[in-house]
Amino acid sequence: MMPHTTVQALGQARLTELHRQAHRDALARAARQARRARRQHPGHRGPAILAAVTAWARRPRPAPEGS
């Protein structure tokens, strides 16, 4: 049988590793949520691009020549 101190040290190492894994998982979860939020909310660029395309489509065009 292992001495008490050895068992305690192994248990402490395991607990430390579980805490480290939980922290890493929390960081990964936060990064994933941030990526989803950026993808779902494109920000201020969408309306500006749409306005530019609409203005270009509605621009006055010269009359055709030769008619």
Reduced to 3 DSSP states, what percent helix, strand and coil does the chain have, rounded to the nearest 5? 75, 0, 25
Residue written as tokens 């922290």?
A: 23
What are the residue boundaries of the structural domains of the chain, listed by start? 4-56
Whole-number pLDDT of residue 32 = 93
The DSSP symbol for 3 reads -
CA distance 60 to 40: 35
What pTM, to 2 d.p., does this model score? Answer: 0.52
Each residue's pLDDT tens digit, 10-65: 999 999 999 999 999 999 999 999 988 877 765 666 778 888 889 888 888 888 77
Map residue 31 onto helix, strand or coil. helix
CA distance 26 to 19: 11
